[in-house]
């Protein structure tokens, strides 16, 4: 075979599943190569083969003679370099599709076999006598154990049964099960919507090929004409893709990002989510027939897209309003389609089926308010009550959609028209749900069921009329600056609000929150920022009035430092009518986001001071003297930021401080009778808290979960999890399983004091070494700006949000964590995800004397085996190290740094290289792996497969960045000697950014 990546196929184990993957990769490679031959000629294919020879079998750049690699690249005409970059980027996109297709196929096959965790094997007595769940955590991570299906409902509930977990504990947890996944629009997803649609079509073609081959095989045929036809269609699709522009034609606006995020709901999630509830019910019933399953909406989605204002001036009140209308429009249209299907399906006649009197009464009421529907359909649906009822429902949905369109476009319908339609439309999802449940009760009473109706009811219970819950977010200083300007205008404070110390602020804010007297005038005569902040809270009130409180109940304060940060938001909410000082009730949950390490350390004291305030406790309780119904709790949501804490202190320190903060906050909340919901602000990359969701949840302190968790889903993570239905369902099932499992089967290892002391030392040493390079090395900022494509990333049209805070100053404090991680990923340093870990491990191993080395190593290996937190941290570091390529990274330095900077930059690079080799050696020592990722052969194969083809893309990127920067330098001098324009060079560089991002899969 002439495929460029023939070696990759030889690396795959010859199991049935791997053979299937091998065949699919081979098919894609051959089609990719044939398309390139037709479109560009044999010369390009030969060039790609030559470029790819730069990589070793392990996927690293080879130590080729210094002159040969750059010479080959530098001599390429720009057109050839761009075509090569596009070809490799296309390859990665196709491989991503194949891997997702393979993962989905595996999940479908797995569901066809028994999921019993211990087939033919009984639990040993010592397993049940050990710390509950500890043995499971150990065994489920062993590649050859019998726990191969861990992470699914059909595994979980039989296992809980065998462990004799009390059913009442399971029931209590199921009653409060609350999983929230929040989509965000952070600029890590750089694939155009147009390309996403092509990817979905290709995935569909692959599924058709699978089915055709299976049918042919079952019939005893060697070949399938249908599969061959689909293969030609696949080739045609790849050709069309090759001729499509990969880059955004314009900088996305916020509503473009809204459309992108909601694409996954329209294509996959809207129909998939109800199956999650069905799977849980079926699995629970098999093991615990007496238990009641959770409500259908135990897993819900939120969104920041169109509501997150932190650092994004494009998110205005008008944009948020339009976002809410757009979401409602999508869900109403889907409900309308479902109702029309039910009209076709529920053709029951009064001749052959009885109905309850309440349905007939309902039809009479509908006839009175919608006589035109009756007159038009009375004959057609004569003696077909269900169809007639559904026709009324259909018309109400149409009227509701029309009203929503008027609200979205800011058209004002005449008052008499709105009054006339008041009873002929739905004002909430609850009204729509009640009518569907009326039909369901009638069917049940006559011994019938309707799966389509049950499916629709489940969707309404989950999505309501809002599809997702919008979370507002704004940076803390925006609120203090707003109050500073308002109080200065009113002259009501003896000095500027921003000059007050914390105790003075809290005292004044508390007094203002107790009075009904307005603070902010109706007409706003302030600066644009202050007016926008006040208008945001007024919009919030308007949103809740129109869409219901559930449309937006969360206001997140990024960079939360003090008690006043939360009280400021509460005061602005009071001014908008959201908080009532008389009753103490508030329809908005104020959520602090603790991001830096200092803020994480301060978080318990901040929350303690808040819990001590009677007005704040009343706020959590729903008002003064509010009595809770059984099963209700005062819930405080707290968000913890992985991105900025990692940028601030490094990977190990960040994760440990978040781990500690969770435990401290949980203890505090329990002491005040408050239920805590932790909101994990995880990104796609390891440097921003990313990683497998199932393992990540199990690595949390078990006492902090209690059936509740909230997690951000960002960037390319959304595409990798939710592009295909079965894959989306699997990810949701594993997340739910982990929440239940982590809540009930706590290992207890998080509370071992001596282990915590060791982790404290490791984290502190890691942070010290990380900050010594990032923040204390005077040449580091110049190094970062020179050897990474950070300048070019800011020009990539991938997000509506700027890459920097505070006016775009070129320093690390203003740079957002996302482009920070993106830059290091492109250059194959991946520095934020591992730097400092090796030094911390080394210092611990050599602590006190070399005689303790073996004992300390045994202890770290025991941590890795037994302690979920430590294992997860080391596994993430191991995966990141496997993606690092210092040969490529050093090439960025040699080619992009100015000659006069080489000496000082080489010193920094050597420091990074020393830490990399130390970390790699010690991670392999702790994990007992000969090579990185030996414990996960599938991931190892995938990383090596990608690494080999990223190597030439890295060289191409360096060449194009070098030319682009030379052009910019010449342009600044006024004399340009280039045959290509800046736009052409920038376009080529950005294509390589796209390609490497696709190859690495987790960009930022």
Task: Give helix 982-1000 / helix 817-826 axis angle, nearest 10°.
Answer: 90
Burial class (CB in 10 A: 0-12, 13-18, 19+), 162: middle
User: Which two three-digit tokens encode residue 763?
Assistant: 């984290």
User: For residue 439, what are the contacts with CB-CB under 8 A and spacing of at least 6?
Assistant: 346, 359, 386, 389, 390, 453
Task: Judge whether 643 and 818 are in contact, CB under 8 Å.
Answer: yes
Q: Which two tokens stand for residue 457?
A: 């009811």
Using CA atoms, how far apart are residues 775 and 285, in angstroms rounded to an integer? Answer: 56
Supply the DSSP string of 335-371, one letter for each residue: HHHHHHHHHHH----TTT----HHHHHHHHHHHHH-H
Contact 840, 652 (CB under 8 A): yes
From the list 590, 746, 711, 599, the residue with the least C-alpha distance to 664 is 599
Residue the block writes with tokens 């969707």 = 459
Q: What does the alpha-carbon distance between residue 864 and residue 873 come to, in Å, rounded to a whole number?
A: 9
- What is d(CA 727, CA 110) in angstroms, rounded to the nearest whole number? 12
- Beta carbons of 692 and 150 less than 8 angstroms apart: no
Residue for token pair 């707003």: 482
Tokens 């595994």 label which residue? 155
Give dist(CA 510, CA 503) in Å, integer: 11
- Give the whole-angstrom CA distance, residue 951 versus residue 55: 6
* CA dihedral of residues 694, 696, 700, 705 (deg, nearest 10): -40
Q: From the CB of residue 366, how many other CB atoms can be counted at a distance below 10 Å?
A: 22
The answer to whether 644 touches 774, Cβ cutoff 8 Å, is no
Strands 589-594 and 579-580, bridge-based pairing? unpaired
Crossing angle of helices 853-866 and 868-883, in 10° steps, is 100
CB neighbours of 577 closer than 8 A, spacing ≥ 6?
541
315 closest CA partner among 964, 801, 1002? 801
Question: Which residues, other chains included, contact 843 with Cβ-Cβ below 8 Å and sequence gap of 6+?
Answer: 761, 765
Enter the tokens of residue 863. 């941590």
Cβ–Cβ under 8 Å, residues 832 and 647: yes
The one-character DSSP state at 663 is H
Segments of 163-297 assigned E as strands: 178-183
In 3D, which of 920, 922, 913, 768 has the Cα closest to residue 841?
A: 922
CB-neighbour burial class of residue 590 (10 A; exposed 0-12, middle 13-18, buried 19+): buried
Torsion of CA 613, 616, 620, 622, to 10 degrees: 110
Active site residues: 186, 647
Contact in structure between 568 and 484 (CB atoms under 8 Å): no
Angle at 189 between CA 91 and CA 87, to 5 degrees: 20
The answer to whether 464 touches 548, Cβ cutoff 8 Å, is: yes
Q: What are phi and psi of 384, to 5 degrees?
A: -120, 80
Least Cα distance to 338 among 295, 414, 280, 274 occurs for: 274
């Amino acid at each position: 075979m002439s495929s460029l990546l023939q070696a990759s196929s030889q690396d795959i184990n010859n199991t049935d599943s791997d053979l299937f993957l091998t065949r699919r990769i081979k098919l894609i490679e051959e089609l990719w190569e044939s398309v390139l031959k037709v479109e560009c000629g044999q010369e390009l294919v030969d060039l790609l083969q030559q470029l790819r020879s730069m990589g070793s079998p392990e996927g690293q750049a080879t130590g080729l003679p210094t002159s040969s690699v750059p010479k080959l690249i530098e001599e390429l005409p720009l057109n050839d370099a761009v075509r090569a970059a596009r070809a490799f980027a296309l390859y990665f996109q196709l491989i991503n599709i194949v891997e997702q297709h393979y993962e989905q196929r595996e999940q479908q096959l797995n569901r066809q076999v028994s999921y019993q965790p211990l087939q033919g094997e009984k639990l040993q007595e010592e397993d049940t006598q050990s710390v509950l769940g500890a043995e499971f955590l150990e065994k489920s991570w062993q590649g050859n154990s019998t726990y191969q299906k861990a992470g699914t409902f059909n595994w979980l509930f039989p296992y809980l049964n065998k462990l004799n977990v009390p059913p009442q504990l399971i029931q209590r947890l199921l009653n409060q099960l609350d999983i929230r996944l929040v989509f965000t629009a952070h600029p890590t997803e750089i694939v155009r919507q147009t390309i996403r649609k092509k990817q979905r079509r290709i995935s569909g073609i692959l599924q058709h090929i699978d089915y055709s081959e299976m049918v042919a095989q079952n019939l005893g045929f060697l070949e399938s004409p249908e599969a061959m036809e689909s293969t030609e269609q696949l080739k045609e699709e790849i050709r069309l893709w090759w001729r499509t522009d990969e880059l955004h034609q314009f900088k996305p606006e916020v509503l473009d990002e809204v459309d992108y995020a909601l694409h996954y709901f329209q294509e996959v999630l809207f129909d998939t989510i109800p199956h999650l509830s069905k799977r849980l019910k079926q699995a629970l019933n098999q093991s615990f027939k007496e238990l009641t399953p959770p409500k259908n909406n135990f897993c819900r989605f939120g969104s920041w897209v169109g509501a997150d204002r932190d650092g994004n001036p494009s998110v205005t009140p008008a944009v948020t309003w339009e976002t809410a209308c757009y979401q409602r429009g999508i869900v109403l249209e889907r409900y309308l389609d479902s109702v029309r299907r039910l009209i076709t399906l529920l053709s029951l006649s009064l001749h052959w089926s009885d109905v309850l009197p309440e349905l007939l009464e309902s039809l009479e009421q509908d006839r009175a308010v919608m006589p035109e529907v009756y007159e038009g359909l009375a004959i057609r649906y004569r003696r077909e009550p269900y169809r007639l009822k559904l026709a009324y429902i259909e018309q109400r949905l149409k009227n509701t959609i029309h009203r929503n369109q008027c609200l979205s476009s800011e058209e004002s319908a005449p008052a008499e028209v709105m009054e006339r339609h008041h009873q002929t439309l739905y004002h909430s999802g609850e009204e729509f749900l009640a009518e569907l449940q009326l039909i369901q009760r009638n069917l049940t009473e006559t011994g019938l069921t309707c799966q389509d109706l049950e499916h629709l009811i489940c969707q309404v219970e989950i999505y309501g009329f809002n599809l997702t819950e919008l979370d507002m977010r704004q940076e803390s200083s925006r609120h203090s600056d707003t109050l500073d300007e308002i109080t200065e205008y009113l002259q009501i404070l003896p000095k500027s609000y921003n000059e007050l110390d914390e105790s003075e602020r809290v005292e004044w804010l508390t007094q203002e929150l107790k009075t009904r007297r307005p603070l902010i005038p109706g007409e706003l005569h302030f600066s644009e920022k202050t007016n926008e902040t006040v208008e945001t809270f007024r919009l919030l009130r308007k949103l809740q009035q129109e869409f219901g409180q559930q449309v937006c109940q969360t206001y997140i304060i990024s960079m939360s430092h003090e008690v006043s940060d939360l009280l400021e938001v509460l005061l602005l909410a009071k001014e908008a009518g959201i908080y009532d000082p008389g009753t103490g009730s508030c329809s908005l949950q104020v959520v602090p986001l603790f991001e830096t390490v200092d803020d994480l350390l301060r978080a318990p004291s901040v929350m303690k001071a808040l819990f001590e305030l009677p007005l704040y406790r009343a706020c959590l309780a729903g008002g003064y003297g509010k009595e809770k119904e059984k099963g209700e709790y005062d819930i405080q949501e707290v968000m913890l930021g992985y991105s900025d804490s990692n940028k601030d202190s490094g990977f190990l320190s960040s994760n440990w401080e978040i781990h500690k903060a969770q435990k401290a906050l949980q203890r505090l909340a329990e002491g005040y009778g408050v239920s805590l919901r932790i909101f994990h602000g995880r990104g796609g990359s390891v440097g921003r808290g990313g990683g497998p969701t199932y393992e990540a949840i199990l690595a949390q302190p078990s006492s902090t979960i209690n059936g509740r968790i909230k997690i951000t889903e960002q960037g390319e993570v959304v595409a990798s999890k939710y592009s295909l239905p079965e894959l989306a369902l699997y990810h949701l099932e594993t997340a739910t399983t982990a929440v239940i499992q982590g809540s009930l089967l706590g290992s207890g290892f998080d509370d071992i004091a001596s282990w915590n002391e060791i982790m404290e030392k490791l984290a502190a040493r890691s942070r010290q070494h990380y900050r010594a390079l990032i923040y204390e090395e005077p040449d580091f900022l110049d190094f970062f700006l020179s050897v990474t494509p950070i300048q070019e990333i800011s020009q990539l049209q991938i997000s509506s949000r700027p890459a920097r805070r505070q006016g775009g100053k070129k320093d690390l404090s203003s740079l957002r964590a996302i482009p920070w991680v993106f830059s290091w990923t492109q250059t194959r340093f991946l520095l934020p995800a591992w730097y400092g870990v090796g030094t911390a491990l080394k210092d611990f191993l050599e602590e006190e004397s070399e005689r303790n080395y073996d004992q300390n190593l045994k202890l770290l290996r025991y941590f890795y085996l037994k302690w979920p937190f430590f294992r997860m941290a080391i596994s993430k570091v191991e995966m990141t190290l496997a993606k690092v390529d210092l040969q490529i990274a050093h090439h960025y330095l040699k080619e992009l740094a100015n000659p006069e900077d080489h000496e000082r930059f080489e010193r920094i690079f050597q420091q990074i290289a020393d830490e990399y080799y130390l970390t790699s050696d010690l991670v392999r020592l702790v994990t007992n792996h000969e090579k990185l990722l030996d414990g996960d052969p599938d991931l190892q194969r995938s990383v090596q497969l990608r690494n080999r083809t990223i190597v030439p893309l890295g060289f191409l990127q360096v060449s194009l960045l070098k030319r682009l920067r030379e052009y910019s330098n010449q342009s600044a001098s006024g004399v340009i000697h280039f045959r290509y324009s800046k736009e052409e060079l920038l376009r080529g560089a950005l294509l390589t950014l796209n390609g490497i991002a696709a190859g690495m899969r987790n960009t930022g």
